[in-house]
Amino acid sequence: MLKIEGLSKSFGGVAATNDVSLHFPKGSLTAVIGPNGAGKTTFFNLITGAFKPDRGRILLDGDDIAGLSPPEIVRRGIGRAFQIARIFPTLTVRQAVLGAVHAHRNQHRILAKRFPMPGSGDRAEQVIALAGLTAKADTLSRNLSHGDQKLLDIALALVLEPHVLLLDEPTAGMGPEERWAMIDTVHRMWEQERMTLIFIEHDMSIVFKIAQSVRVLSYGRVLAEGTPDEIRRHPEVIKAYLGDEFEASHA
Amino acid sequence: MTRSSLLRDSLIAIAVFAVLALLPFIVPGKGFTDFMVRLAAFGIFATSLNLLVGYAGMESFGHGLFFGLGCYSFGLIMQTFPVSIPVAFLATVGLSIVVGTVVGAICVRLNEIYFAFVTLAFQMLLHSLIIAWTPITGGDQGLTGGIPRPPFLGIRLDDYYHLYLFSTGLLVASLLAMYHIVQSPFGYTLRMIRDNAARAPFLGINVFRVRLMAYVIAGAFGAIGGMIMSLFVSGAFPDFAYWTISGEAIFMIMLGGITVFLGPMVGAVMLLLLNDFVTKMTTHYGLVLGLVILLFALGLRKGLMDFAADLWRDRQTPTSGPRPDTAAKTAASAPARAGE
Amino acid sequence: MDLSALASCLITPSCVITQTTSGLIIGLLLFLVAAGVSLIFGVLKVVNFAHGAFYMLGAYFAYTAYQLSGNYLIAVLAGGIGVALFGLVFERLLISRVYGSPVLMQLLVCYGAILILDDLVKIIWGADFLSFGMPSAFQQLPFVFAGGVVPVFYLFLIVVALAIAGLLGLLISKTRYGKIVRAAAVNPSMVSALGINTGVVYASVFVLGGFLAGLAGGLAAPVRSLTAGMGTSIIIESFIVTVIGGMGSVAGALVGSILIGLVRSFGTIGFPLFTEGLMFVLMAVVLVLKPSGLFGKGGA
């Protein structure tokens, strides 16, 4: 389980994350929502070590991981995919996933043997299948469609057998049909891998459909937390977030 | 997997070496063997630079540091101590690993431009030390007086055919070793860092450590190139540590192509032939070479082997889509700055 | 290494004054070159590795102008303006074609250009060292401060170079042109969206950098021997200055240059065999402690 206590980070005097305390139970599926600039991505960056927090603790199964480097945090079991897919353009899907398998098994600095190492192939194929990319395993990553690139990004994170997986807007930039396909895949991954999954999402219909619980951030603070139903009825949330969104979408 | 194995590559290497060993009997004359010894020195040097540039995306402008270091270290050890050639050889490789680790620890954290600057600066530091420490290095006269060549294992390097065999043997063995590294899990980690250095840490990869390893390995091979050069000229000259040596190596890899493993070898052959041709034709070597470089850099913008690889890929893809072996090749040979 | 010599120099006013002036001259001439490298990189994102060759050309242009006119002022201006014009041609013909190319491609183009320029200089002016000679106006008794001898020309160089540095600072920080240049360094697409021709801005920055390097060459000519390849050491030192001072910062270039100048002049006393090495040590220390340079912003 992941427990955040009093996490704070400011940039040039502006508090991007301000005294955030949140709890994500083991195996839960949680959505993090909030208006633009609420500090959602910063929150992910703090958990994964991309930024060092100014204050606060990040407890993963009781150990404080705040301030560790990204590779160290990854090795503790927190994986991450990005809002804009971050992939390896000149590698094929299979090569990239194999590369991640080697990194995960700490075989990525082996000089004397050929790539791939024996036994890495099975795990790679399994993850590629889980992401639904089997048919495209030999395609160069840069030639994949936008949606497939995002799936590959998630697959790379899944290789690491994360206890906690952070997905930053898995459906960003996708059409409606593609979105639901992606969400189905994500949901299937969560069920099969039995991990704690936290995702940032803007599409409320998706959030309310699949999330077990929801955390709302606004101006770097926790505005509300609860089940989708509770969040839907939360006056602060309606005012700060859903109200704007509602008006904007009907303007 | 249908891809090459170490066994297969080793057999190819042995076959190539056998052919090379026979060549002087077909192409007689010292001109040919001299050319091949220089090619061995520059081929290893350029290929080792491409480990950094082509595979790791680290654009070093100071790789000549290791060429000069190999040259002077080997020459000085042989002149100073009563040791055999293999001992001096290993000591020089060891020294280049130490130097590479110290310099690399400072350089590999830096961004693109600074990395190019600072690697160049360290090379010029070596050059200025060579010029200043005249009593040891001979200053701008170079390391003169010849290099002793005690026979070892029946190899007498004062015989030009033996030197030819020794150099081409080292060339083939070094290329085999570097190819093996490029095809290892480490080699693929380098490609991942080259493609997306920001993503790699989130897969648990310590980018600094991997880059440092690449820098040290490339440096050690660069020093081997320098040692062959030292044997060839039987001494060492400050020019071997001057920035132009790095410039030449960069031109070699750009000329031959950075996306194919043997591209730098092709570039080395081309540049050495061009060198010999130009120095025979004119005294204005810099003028002619400079014009060739500009024509190449502003006209073609791609190495010979890059063109060949692209052509080959274009013929493969439209019909069947990338097959596993094609795909492996294209990735192995992907441009340093492909994609985003 | 001779630390006792260094210590005895540092407690002798005459030695301190002599070494400080020579250090300032090295540093300020270096600044004129390094500021151009830094500006060009800041705005064009191109490393002009040929900038040392610009300095060399400035010295040779000044040499010929001095031979023809016998007037040192004309000679220095000929160096500056000549190289500024050359810079324009260079930018349009070569550099403009490698905007956005990998650093290695830019370096390769500059490498080719340096080979050509060095050879051309040998063809036109000969392969031997040329001596400019001290202009007659400066052939006077030197000043003496606290026992330290300072030639008149040295003082002139320091004053002129500082004046140029000041004017450059004003140009960049106070004028409309300076604002455009600074904006183009940060956000070129915004500048062009405002209707400013970025191509012209780029070319003008290159011309400005060339002018400064040419002036430096002309100013340095009486105290340096002229030879093809004289640009190499100053371009390497310029790189070190930009690393120490921070890329794209004119103030950083000034401080870095003067530091290098002083390290070199005092280094010749304390570390005669390691004078050059000291600069690299200084650079390595800055890189370890503050990788973005003394005046740099953000990570390097």
> pLDDT tens-digit profile of B269-309?
999 999 899 888 888 888 999 999 898 888 877 777 787 78
What phi-psi label fits residue B294: left (phi over 0), alpha (psi between -120 and 50 degrees) or beta?
A: alpha
Residue B313's CB is within 10 A of a number of other CB atoms, namely: 15
How far apart, in Å, do the first and last CA atoms of chain C sit?
A: 33
pLDDT value for A244: 55
Inter-chain CB proximity B180 and A103 less than 8 Å: no
Does C124 contact B at CB distance below 8 Å? no
How far is B215 from B100, CA to CA, in rounded Å?
Answer: 7
Residue A51 lies in a domain: yes
Inter-chain CB proximity B109 and C291 less than 8 Å: yes
pLDDT value for A242: 55
Residue B340 lies in a domain: no
Paired with A226 in beta bridges are A214
Do the beta carbons of residue A144 and residue A128 sit within 8 Å? no
Choose from B199, B202, B221 for mutation: most chain A CBs within 10 A.
B202
Q: Minimal Cα–Cα distance from B21 to chain C, Å?
A: 35
Considering only alpha carbons, which residue of chain B is nearest residue A45? Answer: B202
How far is A137 from A129, CA to CA, in rounded Å?
Answer: 9
List alpha helices for chain C, DSSP H: 3-10, 13-44, 51-69, 72-93, 103-125, 152-174, 176-186, 188-193, 198-220, 231-245, 250-270, 275-289
Instruction: Summarize pLDDT for B80-115 with one digit per residue, the tens.
Output: 999 999 999 999 999 999 999 999 999 998 887 889
Inter-chain CB proximity C287 and B118 less than 8 Å: yes
Q: Which of residues 265-294 of C touch B (CB under 8 A)?
A: 273-277, 280, 283-284, 287-288, 291
Inter-chain CB proximity B199 and A87 less than 8 Å: yes
Mean pLDDT of chain B: 88
Inter-chain CB proximity B106 and C274 less than 8 Å: no
Does A28 contact B at CB distance below 8 Å? no
How far is A201 from B68, CA to CA, in rounded Å?
Answer: 56
Q: Minimal Cα–Cα distance from C273 to chain B, Å?
A: 5
Count residue pairs from A and B with Cβ separation < 8 A. Answer: 139
Inter-chain CB proximity C103 and B113 less than 8 Å: yes
Three-class DSSP category at C130:
strand
Residue A154 lies in a domain: no
Q: Which chains touch A (3 or more CB pairs under 8 A)?
A: B
pLDDT value for B118: 87
pLDDT value for A245: 53
- Percent of chain C at pLDDT exceeding 70: 98
Three-class DSSP category at A141:
helix
Q: Which residues of A touch B205 (CB under 8 A)?
A: 71, 103, 108
DSSP B144: -
- Percent of chain B at pLDDT exceeding 90: 62
C71: exposed, middle or buried (C-beta count within 10 Å: 0-12, 13-18, 19+)? middle
**Structural domains counted in chain B:** 1
One pLDDT digit (tens) per residue for chain A, 251 residues:
899 999 999 988 888 898 999 999 999 999 999 888 888 999 999 999 999 999 999 999 889 999 899 999 998 999 999 988 899 999 999 999 999 999 999 999 999 999 999 989 999 999 999 889 999 999 999 999 988 999 999 999 999 889 999 999 998 888 888 888 899 889 988 988 889 999 999 888 888 888 999 999 988 889 888 998 888 888 888 777 655 555 444 43
How far is C253 from C264, CA to CA, in rounded Å?
Answer: 16
Q: Which residues of A touch B323 (CB under 8 A)?
A: 138
Residue B91's CB is within 10 A of a number of other CB atoms, namely: 15
Residue A54 lies in a domain: yes
Domain that holds residue A15: 2-82+165-178+196-250
Does A74 contact B at CB distance below 8 Å? yes
Q: Which residues of C touch B251 (CB under 8 A)?
A: 108, 111
Q: Which of residues 127-166 of A touch B (CB under 8 A)?
A: 138-142, 156-157, 159-160
Q: Which chains touch B (3 or more CB pairs under 8 A)?
A: A, C
Q: Which residues of A touch B210 (CB under 8 A)?
A: 108-109
**Is residue C62's pLDDT more than 50?**
yes
Q: Is the pTM of this model over 0.90?
A: no
Inter-chain CB proximity C291 and B110 less than 8 Å: yes
Do the beta carbons of residue A29 and residue A214 sit within 8 Å? no
Q: Tell me the mean pLDDT in the region C9-19.
A: 85
Q: Which residues of B touch A156 (CB under 8 A)?
A: 199, 203
Inter-chain CB proximity B247 and C108 less than 8 Å: yes
Do the beta carbons of residue A147 and residue A179 sit within 8 Å? no
How far is C26 from C278, CA to CA, in rounded Å?
Answer: 15
Do the beta carbons of residue A8 and residue A18 sit within 8 Å? yes
Do the beta carbons of residue B230 and residue B8 sit within 8 Å? no
Do the beta carbons of residue A102 and residue B188 sit within 8 Å? yes
CA distances from A172 to A157, A199, B269, C158 (A): 17, 12, 50, 60
Q: Minimal Cα–Cα distance from A242 to chain B, Å?
A: 33
Residue B340 — pLDDT band, cuts 50, 70, 90? very low
Inter-chain CB proximity C232 and B243 less than 8 Å: yes
Choose from B50, B63, B123, B125 for mutation: most chain C CBs within 10 A.
B125
- Annotated domain spans of chain C: 3-289
pLDDT value for B325: 37
Do the beta carbons of residue C272 and residue C291 sit within 8 Å? no
pLDDT value for B320: 37
Q: Tell me the mean pLDDT in the region B201-229.
A: 96
Considering only alpha carbons, which residue of chain A is nearest residue B197? Answer: A88
Do the beta carbons of residue C21 and residue C154 sit within 8 Å? yes
Do the beta carbons of residue C155 and residue C218 sit within 8 Å? no
**Is residue B319's pLDDT more than 60?**
no
**Is residue C298's pLDDT more than 50?**
no
Residue B339 lies in a domain: no
Q: What is the CATH number of the domain that holds A208?
A: 3.40.50.300
The verdict on whether omega for the bond into residue A116 sits within 30 degrees of 0, i.e. cis, is yes
DSSP A223: E
Residue B119 lies in a domain: yes
Residue A141 lies in a domain: no
Three-class DSSP category at A157:
helix
Q: Minimal Cα–Cα distance from B297 to chain C, Å?
A: 6
What's the number of CA atoms in the CB half-sphere (13 Å) around residue A33? 26
Q: Which residues of C touch B140 (CB under 8 A)?
A: none
Hunting for tokens 């807007």 — which residue is that? A169
Residue C291 — pLDDT band, cuts 50, 70, 90? confident
Inter-chain CB proximity C277 and B111 less than 8 Å: no
Does B156 contact A at CB distance below 8 Å? no
Considering only alpha carbons, which residue of chain B is nearest residue A71? Answer: B204
DSSP A136: G
**Is residue B193's pLDDT more than 70?**
yes
Residue A31 lies in a domain: yes
Does B5 contact A at CB distance below 8 Å? yes
Q: Which of A222, A169, A248, A199 is nearest to A17 (CA)?
A: A222
**Is residue B227's pLDDT more than 90?**
yes
Does C89 contact B at CB distance below 8 Å? no
Q: Which of C97, C102, C120 lies at the smallest CB-CB distance from B337?
A: C102
Q: Minimal Cα–Cα distance from C109 to chain B, Å?
A: 6
A59-72: string of b/e by CB count within 10 Å (b at 16+)? Answer: ebeeeebbebebbe
Q: Which residues of B touch C247 (CB under 8 A)?
A: 113-114
Inter-chain CB proximity B210 and A87 less than 8 Å: no
Q: Minimal Cα–Cα distance from C27 to chain B, Å?
A: 18
Strand order in the sheet with A2-11: A14-24, A2-11, A55-60, A63-64
Q: Which residues of C touch B124 (CB under 8 A)?
A: 236, 276, 280
Does B318 contact A at CB distance below 8 Å? no
Domain that holds residue B189: 6-332
Q: Minimal Cα–Cα distance from B86 to chain C, Å?
A: 31
What phi-psi label fits residue A106: left (phi over 0), alpha (psi between -120 and 50 degrees) or beta?
A: left
Residue B125 lies in a domain: yes
Does B208 contact C at CB distance below 8 Å? no
Query: HEC string of B49-78?
Result: HHHHHHHHCCCCCCCHHHHHHHHHHHHHHH
How far is A29 from B302, CA to CA, in rounded Å?
Answer: 50
CA distances from B115 to B46, B108, B109, C143 (A): 18, 7, 8, 44
Instruction: Summarize pLDDT for C185-223 with one digit per residue, the tens.
Output: 888 888 888 888 888 889 999 999 999 999 999 999 998
Do the beta carbons of residue B212 and residue B101 sit within 8 Å? yes
Class of domain C3-289: mainly alpha
How far is A193 from C171, CA to CA, in rounded Å?
Answer: 62
